[in-house]
Amino acid sequence: MQKFLNLIKKIASKKFVLVIISLLLGIVAWLLVMDATNPVEEMTVSVDISFENFNAPAQKQLTLVSDLGVVNAEVKVTGRRNLLNKLLPRDFYVKADFSSIEGTGSTYLKVEQPVCSKMGVKTVDYYPKEIAVSYDRKTEMYLPVKLDFSESILKAGYEIISVTAEPDSVPISGFATQLENLEYISVTLSENVADNSVESDRTITFIGRYMTSGGDDVTANFDTEKVVVKIDVAKRVPVIYTLRGEPGEDAYFISDTASITNILIDGNSTDLVRLKSIDLGTVDITGATESFTKTFEISNFISSQLYPADAEQRDAKVTVTVEIGQYETRVYKIGFDDITQAGRNDETYLYTISFADEILDEEGNLVVTVKGKSEQLDKIRAATLKPTIELPNEGIYRNRNILFEVPEGVELVGDYLYDIIVQFVPQPTEAPTPVPTEVPTEVPTEVPTEVPTEEPTETPEETEEPTAEPTETPEETETPTETPAETEGPEETEAPTENPTGEPEPTDEPDV
């Protein structure tokens, strides 16, 4: 410590040191006086902003579409009072450079740090540091015209061939941001055209509406645009014809088709209104035994002022195809046991049944021929025909029809007839008179003894006939078709004749 004090005393003893100390004390004193009389203060100065390269965006086809708004900068500075009191706005330089703008849309223009030309003045802060600006690019585009319509505006039978707009697209210019959402110009026909009113070509002028991609109508933001709409219509009419006649023998009609059943006709509106159908006339199928076609030219059946709307059908021809089928025949064999005998009563009657030779084969089977369409015949079997003969009460019946069950559209070929003799079963115990079967046994013994004349010699021949007839009866029953003219029903039998003895001759009924 003693050494340090000695050093101080040594330095203080020198003269230049005292001079330096005095100078420093003077400066401090001066600063104290200055701080009291001219202190450091803050102030704000409004300075015009200098906009540099203002046309730089225009060289990039960009246009300022917003208001700059701010053109001055508020600059906060510090300095001695006397300096600040002398400050002027021109002592500052504040700039914003537009060369930094690159594209469309909203952006910010940077305001650079203010510079003061006066010494002793320091910039503390400033406002604004950036300015909001919006740029857009001028552009031109074509909007397509979109036609909105429905066929409800047409009268019945008419169709729209084409609906065109002139122009089909509309040029429009403006800023890109204004046009970027536009999608089309809409024209709605129903606004000026009533439903069920159009039956001829029309040309109508409409006011187009500007529509955005979101479906918003922004027509108010643009100039009015007129669009001319042309409506071309045609009438669809049926093509008709009439079938006449019947197919030939053993043939039948299946179907008919036309290559064109309806066609779209264009042309004179008056003729179109009158045209209801295209009638090709008649197609005659009389006597036809096979399928055939017939061709008609459409132009021969419409007015010269009318023509098919489709260019490919201008020389259209209609081909009518008629399909004719041939009936087929099938033969079925049915055994006697497979024939239903309706009403059979074996306890009361004896039945003798015979069929015509032409409906029997060598084995005695019933041969049945049917005619019809092949698809129907394929479903038929002998059993499905269900042949039935009806057995009546006592009597002789000729040319009775055998009954069959055949599907609709199928028919039997030929007649299927039978004869039947129905007799009572002999009942000896109940008969009030001698049973006929006993007569033949008595006649041969009595006639020769009681009649000595020549007549008895002839009588045996007559009496032999009853015994011979039963053997011939089957032959008679096998040929029932020899009496086709006879009507059905029991035949009346002749009363038995008396022989010379006065007794009735025997009949052949019991043997039948």
Token pair of 67 as six digits = 């208001």
Could you give all domains of the chain from N- to C-terminal order, each with its CATH number?
40-128 (2.170.120.30), 137-326 (2.170.120.40), 329-424 (2.170.120)
Tell me the C-alpha to C-alpha distance, in Å, between residue 411 and each of 212, 330, 375, 481, 484: 76, 11, 14, 22, 22
pLDDT of residue 17: 64
pLDDT of residue 14: 60
CA distance 364 to 352: 15
Burial of 180 (0-12, 13-18, 19+ CB in 10 A): middle
CA distance 134 to 170: 28
Element (DSSP H or E) covering residue 321: strand 317-326
For residue 90, give the 3-state DSSP assignment: helix
Beta-sheet pairing, 417-424 with 388-390: unpaired
SS3 letters across 438-466: HHHHHHHHHHHHHCCCHHHHHHHHHHHHH
**Exposure string (b/e) for 56-73, b if CB count within 10 Å is 16 or more?**
ebeeeebebbeeeebeeb
Beta-sheet pairing, 340-342 with 388-390: parallel
pLDDT of residue 203: 92
DSSP 129: S
Beta-sheet pairing, 158-166 with 105-110: unpaired
DSSP-assigned states of every residue in 339-365: SEEET--TTTEEEEEEE-GGGB-TTSP
Tens of pLDDT along the chain (512 residues) come to 666 666 666 666 666 666 677 777 777 766 666 666 678 889 999 999 999 998 988 888 888 888 887 789 999 999 888 888 888 999 999 999 998 888 888 888 999 999 998 888 899 999 999 999 988 888 888 999 999 988 899 999 999 999 999 999 999 888 888 888 899 999 999 888 899 999 999 999 999 999 998 999 999 888 888 999 999 999 999 999 999 999 998 899 999 999 999 999 999 999 999 999 999 999 999 999 999 999 999 999 999 999 999 988 888 999 999 999 999 999 999 999 999 999 999 989 999 999 988 999 999 999 999 999 999 999 999 989 999 999 999 999 999 999 999 999 899 999 999 999 999 988 766 545 555 555 444 444 444 444 343 444 343 333 333 333 333 333 333 333 333 333 344 444 343 333 333 333 333 333 32
Q: Is there a contact between 100 and 140 (Cβ–Cβ < 8 Å)?
A: no
* Of the candidates 343, 393, 336, the residue with the CA atom closest to the CA atom of residue 368: 336
Element (DSSP H or E) covering residue 497: none
CA distance 134 to 182: 20
Q: Is there a contact between 437 and 488 (Cβ–Cβ < 8 Å)?
A: no
